[in-house]
Amino acid sequence: MKFAGEIAALGTAVCWAAGSNLFAAAGGRMGSVVLNRLRITVAAVFLCIALVAVRGSPWPTWATPAQVGLLAVSGLVGFIFGDNNYFRSLVILGPGKAALVASLAPVFTAVLGVFVLGETLGPVALGGMGLTLGGLVWVLGKRDRLVPAHAEGSVLAGIVAGVLGALGQASGYVISKLALEGGIDPLSATVVRVAAAVLGVWIVAAWSGDAVRSLAPLRDRRAASFMVGGAFFGPFLGVTLSLAALQHAEAGVAASITAVYPILTLVLSSRFHGERLTARILGGALLALAGVVVLFLR
| Contact predicate 296/3, CB 8 Å | yes
- The 10s digit of each residue's pLDDT in 166-207 is 999 999 989 998 888 888 998 999 999 999 999 999 999 999
Q: How far apart are CA 83 and CA 162, in angstroms?
A: 9
- Residue 297 is which amino acid? L
Residue 144: the pLDDT is 52
- Over the chain, what is the mean pLDDT? 86
| Contact predicate 88/159, CB 8 Å | no
Q: What count of other Cβ atoms lies within 10 Å of the Cβ of residue 27?
A: 26
| Contact predicate 227/35, CB 8 Å | yes
Bridge partners of 153, per DSSP, are: 150
Show Cβ contacts of residue 216 under 8 Å, excluding neighbours closer than 6 positions: none
pTM recorded for the entire structure: 0.84
Tell me phi and psi for residue 295, to 5 degrees.
-65, -35
Distances (CA, A) of 106 to 58, 112, 129, 183, 254: 32, 10, 9, 24, 8
Q: How far apart are CA 63 and CA 21, in angstroms?
A: 34
Query: How does residue 80 score in pLDDT terms, banded at 50, 70 and 90?
Result: very high
- The 10s digit of each residue's pLDDT in 95-152 is 767 877 787 787 788 788 888 888 777 888 788 888 878 877 787 666 554 445 556 7
User: Would you kindly state where each structural domain of the chain is located, as residue ranges?
Assistant: 4-296
Tell me phi and psi for residue 153, to 5 degrees.
150, 170
Residue 132: the pLDDT is 78
Classify 149 as helix, strand or coil: coil
Q: How far apart are CA 95 and CA 208, in angstroms?
A: 29
